Structure 1
Amino acid sequence: MQIQVNSDNHIESSIRLEEWVRTTVESTLERYEEDLTRVEVHIRDENGDKPGPHDIRCQMEARPKGHQPISVTHKADSLAQAVDGAAVKLDHALEHLFGKLRHKRPGQNAVVLEDQDAVNPDALLQEEFLEKEQEKEAQVG
């Protein structure tokens, strides 16, 4: 996974800053390393030289292999909070994407029932739902 760090003129870029951002992103997203080609990080001070609340903005865009890019943004008072917040948001977005994909493709981290006579779990949920609905109707009626 390649990590590219970009900053605006109001945030002084340095090798130390870039290494810190890369380390933060790598440690937060390490479980997706094989699934991502690149993560772009854009750091910006929205108010420039003027102080203000939540004026540091960090946008991260992940490029999952074979899928559309996913982008998140987090604003905070400090650079560390903005980068950490965006990394956590990106982790949650990727967890959501790959979780949906696992459920669509049985065999990849999905449980497949071996027994042909096993009861369908969805049928059990539907049956439970209908029982609760009948109980509600009995209480009202």
Structure 2
Amino acid sequence: MQILVNTDNNIKGTETIRQEVESSVETVLARFDSRLTRVVVHLSDQSAGRETTDDIRCVLEARPAGGNPLAATGNAESVNAAVNGALHKLVSVLETEFGRLDEHKGASAMGDEPMP
């Protein structure tokens, strides 16, 4: 899984921020690693540098192998909080998407155990 981090003009895309964001994404999305080809992180400051609450926006775009891109957004006062909020939402989206793909007609509710 490739991770790309993009920032707007109001957020300094330092190496430290990039490494922290990549580490968070790798850790949280590790169980989906084999199913995702790329995750793109878009960080922006919605208030253009002014001090307001929840002005940092993180948009995560996950690209499943052979599927359509899936996205989630998080807003917070800091980059880390925005990334964590977006990751929490993206995990839910990925669980729903991959759960639908993995469901097969006739599968039992107990993990495909044979019926007695």
TM-score (norm. length: structure 1): 0.75
Q: What RMSD, in angstroms, separates the aligned Cα atoms of the two structures?
A: 1.6
Structure 2 gaps, min length 5: none
Distance in 2 (alpha carbons) for counterparts of 1:49 and 1:76: 14
Q: Partner residue of 1:111?
A: 112
Q: Which runs of 5+ in 1 are unaligned?
A: 119-141
Distance 1:32 1:79 in 2: 23
> What count of residue pairs does the alignment treat as equivalent?
113
Tell me the secondary structure at the aligned position of residue 49 of structure 1.
Answer: coil
Q: Give runs of ≥4 in structure 1 deviating > 3 Å.
A: none
The answer to whether structure 1 residue 81 and structure 2 residue 81 are counterparts is yes
Corresponding position: 1:46 with 2:46: yes
Comparing both chains, which one has the higher relative contact order based on Cα–Cα distances under 8 Å and sequence gaps of 6 or more?
A: 2
Alignment of 1:1-141 (within 5 A): 1-104=1-104, 110-113=111-114, 115=115, 118=116
State percent identity of aligned pairs.
Answer: 39
More strand by share: 2
Work out which of the two has the higher radius of gyration on C-alpha atoms and give 1 or 2: 1
Q: How does the TM-score come out when normalised to structure 2?
A: 0.90
Deviations, residues 30-71 of structure 1 (Å, cap 9, x unaligned): 000000000000000000121111110000000001111001
Which structure's residues are more often helix, by fraction?
1
